[in-house]
Each structure stands twice: as C-alpha cells, then as structure tokens.
C-alpha cells in the first residue's frame, strides 16, 4: 500500500453531508456519519433528494387554480418530509449528540452534489442500496454517480451483512 501525503489529509472534517431516503442503506450511512461526527466534532447536514416535482410541466394546460393547489400540496408534503427526516431518519445523529440539520433538495444526485458544494462540505456519505442486476447496469446507482461526479470524498457505506453472507 502506498500513502500519499497532501495538505488535504491534515484538513479537519467540519461538515459532513449525508444523503438520506429512509432506506436501510440510508440508516447505515446516518449511523456511520453520526459516529464520525461524534469523534471529530463535525456538523452533519442530512439531505434528501426529492427528485423532480411531478406534473409541473403540464400545469399551464390545466389552469392556475390546479397549479396553485399542487404547489401548496407540494410545500406541505416537503415540510412533512423534513419533520420525518429530523425525528426518525436522523435519530442516530441526535442520540450521538452531534450538531445536525435536515434539508430537502429538488433533483437527484446532481442536486445533492450541488448542495454539498455550496456548503463547502468536507465529505459526502451515502448508503449502498443497490438496485443490482440489469436495472443498475442501465440506470446507474445514486452512489455511483456521486463517486464519479462529486468534488468531495464520498463514503459509500456497504449494506449490513452477516459474516460470510453473499452480496
């Protein structure tokens, strides 16, 4: 093994962005980030990528009232999602006693990367849910896209497997 020394290795970890979605893989990533933040004193920002708002492109054809109603419903759903994130998905962060906040962004992996860049995050942490098989080959995975496009180091926390278990 070869070790390369750079100024980056001596830089303290101050801000960790962890991608969350309520999955088992996400829960493992949150616990991993909580332990690291507890040890380093870093702040954690848990970010959920909501995907694109559905139906927004068709609304000019259905009228302003329906569009306004949809926007209100989307905003209420987003607020409920943030509450679920804080009280449930991010419970390990609170239990570890680390400083954290929750955010939701519209979009996919690119939105998570943009948010991490805008905060000058030191690290991205995500779980490996893994579609597996043909779907992952064709579509790619969220974590795969982060690893290849993020400016920060990306930690992909593997699935929790028993010793000797198959992948």
Q: Say if residue 139's pLDDT is above 60.
A: no
The winner for highest mean pLDDT among 59-63, 122-126, 151-155 is: 122-126
- What is the overall mean pLDDT for the chain? 79
Q: How far is CA 122 from CA 9, 35, 54, 126, 150, in A?
A: 11, 16, 32, 14, 11
In contact, 104 and 140? CB cutoff 8 Å: no
pLDDT band at 71 (very low <50, low <70, confident <90, very high): confident
pLDDT digits (tens, 9 = 90+) for 21-42: 888 889 999 999 999 999 999 9
pLDDT recorded at residue 44: 98
- Look up residue 60 and give its DSSP letter: G
pLDDT of residue 134: 54
Domains and CATH numbers, the chain: 11-157 (3.40.50.620)
Task: Give residue 45's pLDDT.
Answer: 97
pTM of the model: 0.77
Among left, alpha and beta (phi > 0; psi -120 to 50; other), residue 132 is left
């Amino acid at each position: 093994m070869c070790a390369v020394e750079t100024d980056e290795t001596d830089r303290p970890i101050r801000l960790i962005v962890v991608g969350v979605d309520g999955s088992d893989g996400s829960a493992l990533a949150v616990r991993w980030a909580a332990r690291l933040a507890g040890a380093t004193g870093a702040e954690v920002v848990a970010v959920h990528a909501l995907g694109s708002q559905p139906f927004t492109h068709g609304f000019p054809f259905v009228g302003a009232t329906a569009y306004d109603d949809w926007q209100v419903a989307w905003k209420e759903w987003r607020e409920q999602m943030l509450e679920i994130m804080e009280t449930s998905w991010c419970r390990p962060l609170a239990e570890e006693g680390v400083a954290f906040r929750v955010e939701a962004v519209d979009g996919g992996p690119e939105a998570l990367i943009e948010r991490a860049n805008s905060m000058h995050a030191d690290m991205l942490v995500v779980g490996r849910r893994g579609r597996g098989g043909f779907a992952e080959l064709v579509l790619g995975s969220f974590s795969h896209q982060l690893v290849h496009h993020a400016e920060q180091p990306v930690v992909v926390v593997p699935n929790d497997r028993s010793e000797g278990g198959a992948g």
